[in-house]
Amino acid sequence: MQTAKKNEIREALNEKSGFDVWWRLMRPHTLTASFIPVFVGTMLAYHDGIINWLLFTAMLVASVLIQAATNMFNEYYDYVLGLDTEESVGIGGTIVRDGVNPKTIRNLAFAFYGIAVILGVYICLASSWWIAVIGLVCMLIGYLYTGGPIPISYTPFGELFSGVLMGSVIIGITYYIQTLTLTAEVIWISIPITILIGSLNLSNNIRDRDGDKIGGRKTIAVLIGREKAITLLAVLFFVAYGWTLGLIIFNLLPIWSLLTFLSAPKAIFVIKNFRGKTEPLEMMPAMAATGKTNTIYGLLLGISLVLAVFF
């Protein structure tokens, strides 16, 4: 790859050297998928009159570490399998553009897992050891997302696994460690977050469709084509907001949760800015806006639960 082209990509992605290399490795724009479920699960517990800030902090840090480690495994195995190149846009670029040793990234991911396990021991001591079993399964799936003989990211099930595990499962765990109980209402309320996190994965796969097809991946975007995948993304957004309205109508969420609809313009922006685009760099704004949709929606949902306590 020519130096000019490489510099063009670096400039377009606003990549810098130094600490920024390691920050990019964690793919911070995806970490909303770990923060928001923990926040929402904790605010659901607060709405029900229970809050333990130390448990919230431990769960939040552990979730972020597991998400970051999953991203690192993704970077490592995509490089090993030859999928990532210097021209790849949706990656940290620490291996192919910054020259970081691949084994260093893999070992750092395992170190993050180790810290998450230590935090998990504290969480289990304060709640139940069943959380350890669920947590280990989540970590295993995070590893198998791009590792193992048949990586999940190479199948049409990436959106499903990421959405359910990072959405309903994390929200359920977070609520349980605070209250030591789990209700059907919590699972119903978690569905829009599950959909939005799955949508973040779908958005990523829409952007990377051409490269994924060449690399042998069978993602939804590869199987049905980019335009149909964008339409599917629009349907998922519609279902998420429609589901939220239904939760409000049936009194599972307070009227304050109408605030979540303030995030809808971001979802509309995503679809408009994916349509007609074919180059990964062109689709970066839409990809980033998908993450912001989940972030804004989740923050407003949590805030609405707090407001319902006081008003």
Mean pLDDT in each 10-residue stretch from start to end of the chain (311 residues)?
54 62 80 92 96 96 92 84 67 74 91 94 94 89 83 92 93 96 96 96 93 89 96 98 98 97 97 92 91 96 96 90
pLDDT at position 59, please?
A: 96
CA-closest candidate to residue 192, choices 137, 261, 145: 261
Provide the number of structural domains found in the chain. Answer: 1
Q: Are 65 and 113 in contact (CB under 8 A)?
A: yes
**pLDDT tens figures, 181-190:** 999 999 999 9
How many residues in the chain?
A: 311
The string over 172-198, giving b where at least 16 C-beta atoms fall within 10 Å of a residue's C-beta and e elsewhere, is: bbbbbbbbeeeeebbebbbbbbbbbbb
CATH code: domain of residue 146 = 1.10.600
Domain residue limits at 102? 21-305
Per-residue pLDDT at 146: 80
Is the residue at 54 inside a domain? yes
Q: What is the pLDDT of residue 94?
A: 79
pLDDT in tens, 84-114: 666 666 666 777 777 788 899 999 999 999 9
pLDDT of amino acid 249: 97
Mean pLDDT in the chain? 89
Q: Which two structure tokens, joined as six digits, stand for 10?
A: 């670096």
Determine the pLDDT at residue 23: 82
Q: Residue 5: inside a domain, yes or no? A: no
In a domain? residue 109:
yes
Does 211 reside within a domain? yes
pLDDT value, residue 17: 66
Residue 222 lies in a domain: yes
Looking at residue 156, what is its pLDDT? 95
Residue 95 within any structural domain of the chain: yes
| Residue 2 forms part of a structural domain | no
- Cα first-last separation, the chain: 60
Tokens representing 44 are 């659901």
Question: What φ, ψ does residue 251 adopt, rounded to 5°?
Answer: 65, 25
Task: Decide if 108 is inside a domain.
Answer: yes
* Residue 1: predicted pLDDT: 45
Is the Cβ–Cβ distance between 304 and 260 less than 8 Å? yes
Question: What residues contact 40, with CB distance under 8 A and at least 6 apart?
Answer: 171, 174, 189, 190, 193, 298, 301, 302, 305
